[in-house]
Chains A and B, each alone.
Chain A
């Protein structure tokens, strides 16, 4: 490896060629503040438009300061990172950014979690010497995400996620100079754009220019309503991240404390989306085996590969970008919606109350789930199966208002019957988890033999696209996994071209899967946090006594008492859905 010798603040070091000054400084614990820069190491995602000019440093021999995030080290370079000139320049730049930023910190949804706020604190800004015009833009409240461009600092992180990583192409910098803003085409609302609501823009936004639609007030109202029975379901990826909001180490599992906190918040029943994940496996796994059996018997009309359908952003993505492929994904609803359907139809009956009296709340690592819950097909007489969907962050806010010390809460168990789950449901929260859970069940149903080994290492990891062949007692099943919608696009293009070699593909929209979701505690560009969450997901799986969905006794009971069998008529009615083509349509006008 070719290296260069440099000097930073009188410290000499040797670094690989093409190392940036910022990287080199961090190797020797020298802090250079940054703002627009973001690097998700594990995913090879780097945002460095060098736009904010906060990371400026002095290179000997150069007249002007240089941005350290994009300037590569060269042989003999002598760098200074904290001279009065530099400190003054950084402060001036920050004051100029702040001079066009609303001073609403006290009532801002990002208060305490804002990168701009932290930087102002770090640089010790106590006054702003500049006053000038303030940008004013229209707020855009969509079904899941709120855009408040007044708070945008043009770091372009969202643009990178939306275009390069997710290939949705919704957000772009438009206009020029002082008027420039990040917006959808024609500055339309997000609801009128190809947005999938994946929320990765929200996950990386340093300020509150992009936030989720807050539903906590609506939830507090519902909890206080004596006429309502309020049940909650918590997604698999929430229990491994919620602790971060209370200062715990990333990857801390807080399942029991979370259940206690939810009970104290006043939910009548605390249930688990993992239960619905087990149910999803029964339906989706059976659908896979049905399609596969037909295919093996020579029926060429059958659609393979089968694609998972748990992720609402992913569903949105193929509806909007691949309308010709809407027959390929599994028709199984997502666990959130399966839970809603079972709660409103089966559990409400058990309680002997009408479905309208039951309020179903979901706690999700996701902002797209807010949108999913509002989809037309998931409501009966205008009563949605899932009434309120909040993110991990919103739950943390609620807990902070009610519980004195989350960290020292005792642990509780989920309520029955919709709170019982297996390790297969638990791993839904990570990329590779849904398909591993499906394989665990499909293997035993297909071969009628017990699994020789429960953990499928070949399906795990963080690589963007993974391939594995699983041996179903002689039948070789080719499995593909992609996370990040840009990677999903690659696999879909293979299918369109007739070149796909897979029988089944798992897709999750967010990097890392739900553990990296848009509703999770802010990772501030540290991808090691997402890695720690993944480790915790697999730990949670190992901790559970049952690890295959079809062994969940309450799932067996549900089929015996109510649904009949997987893919039954009632299952179709309650647990399966359909997809819609949503591409722009060109209409030819005649004279």
Chain B
């Protein structure tokens, strides 16, 4: 029988415990707790989920079920520059899928993954409310509109020296 070991830094552990306490250890607040923890850590690794389950006295499998159900939550650390491609209806019909393919090709990663140097991560989302600019790409807080596949290389080069 294996012995599960959870490795965390003390301040991380404390932050998770404080967050659970802030929400009164209420299992119904699980999603809010996970939001706050993802904001803090950038992602929700298994260690974080184990501690949350333990604090709320609910099965880890349930926490994992919620994390894997909602596309907002991720177990993969985001890159320094998270790239989000809008695949909402307007962007999609204006060729967003080709833009996505180009990003995948340029970065050599799949959707939901990060580059080995953790510089970029690639994700999709549904509608950022800028349909007039379709297709739209967001890198961090910066928005790029009317992106064409040929622009992708240029956009990425903006971050080359960082």
Contacts and interface: CB of A to CB of B under 8 A. Distances in A.
Interface string B128-150: 00000000000000000000000
A183 B54 CA distance: 19
A186 B59 contact: no
Nearest to A320: B1
Nearest to A170: B61
Contact of A589 (B1, B8, B62): B8
A163 B62 CA distance: 9
B13 A172 contact: no
Contacts of B68: 174-176
A541 interface: no
B8 A586 contact: yes
Given A169-B60, A172-B62, A174-B65, A590 B3 contact: no
Contact of B9 (A582, A585, A591): A591
A191 interface: yes
A173 B65 contact: yes
Contacts of B49: 185-186
B7 A589 contact: yes
Among B2, B7, B58, B59, find the residue whose CB has the most chain A CB atoms closer than 10 A.
Answer: B59
A174 B68 CA distance: 6
A392 B46 CA distance: 38
Interface string A156-189: 0000000100001111111110000001111000
B92 interface: no
Contacts of A582: 1, 3
Nearest to B71: A176
B4 A587 contact: no
Contacts of A194: 59
Contacts of A170: 59, 61
B4 A585 contact: yes
A588 interface: yes
B64 interface: yes
A591 B6 CA distance: 16
Contact of A183 (B2, B58, B61, B69): B61
A194 B54 CA distance: 13
Interface string B33-74: 000000000000010011101100011111111001101000
A453 interface: no
Contacts of B65: 172-174
Nearest to A582: B1
A103 B115 CA distance: 40
A192 B46 CA distance: 13
A587 B5 contact: yes
A587 B5 CA distance: 7
Contact of B64 (A163, A174, A587): A174
Contacts of B58: 169
Given A172-B64, A588-B10, A163 B59 contact: yes
Contacts, number: 81
Main secondary structure on chain B at its contact with chain A?
helix
B4 A588 contact: no
A586 B59 contact: no
A194 B2 CA distance: 10
Interface in B12-41: 13
A591 B7 CA distance: 12
Nearest to B50: A584
Contacts of A163: 59, 62
Contacts of B8: 586-589
A249 to B, nearest CB: 39
Contact of B7 (A169, A171, A173, A587): A587
Contacts of A172: 59, 61-62, 64-65
A585 B59 contact: no
Contact of A169 (B2, B13, B62): B62
B63 A185 contact: yes
A590 B50 CA distance: 19
Nearest to B70: A176
A184 B61 contact: yes
Contacts of B61: 169-172, 174, 183-185, 193
B1 A586 contact: no
A170 B64 CA distance: 11
Contacts of A192: 2, 4
Nearest to A581: B3
Among A170, A174, A191, A194, find the residue whose CB has the most chain B CB atoms closer than 10 A.
Answer: A174
Nearest to A374: B1
A588 B13 contact: yes
Nearest to A143: B1
A194 B50 CA distance: 12
Contacts of A191: 1-2
Contacts of B9: 588-591
A185 B69 contact: no
A341 to B, nearest CB: 21
Nearest to B57: A169
Nearest to B4: A584
Nearest to B59: A169
B45 to A, nearest CB: 10
Given A174-B65, A585-B6, A186 B51 contact: no
A194 B53 CA distance: 13
Contacts of B5: 584-585, 587
Contacts of A588: 8-10, 13
A171 B62 CA distance: 8
A589 B65 CA distance: 27
B69 A175 contact: yes
B143 to A, nearest CB: 28
27 contacts: A169-B60, A169-B61, A169-B62, A170-B59, A172-B59, A174-B68, A176-B69, A184-B61, A185-B50, A185-B60, A186-B49, A186-B64, A192-B2, A582-B1, A582-B3, A584-B6, A584-B50, A584-B54, A585-B4, A586-B6, A586-B8, A586-B50, A587-B6, A589-B8, A589-B9, A589-B10, A590-B9
**Closest 6 interchain pairs by CB?**
A169-B59, A172-B61, A185-B60, A584-B4, A172-B65, A185-B61
Interface of B: 1-10, 13, 46, 49-51, 53-54, 58-65, 68-69, 71
Interface of A: 163, 168-176, 183-186, 191-194, 582, 584-591
Given A584-B6, A587-B8, 13 more contacts: A169-B59, A172-B64, A185-B53, A186-B46, A186-B64, A585-B6, A586-B8, A586-B50, A586-B51, A587-B6, A588-B9, A589-B7, A591-B9
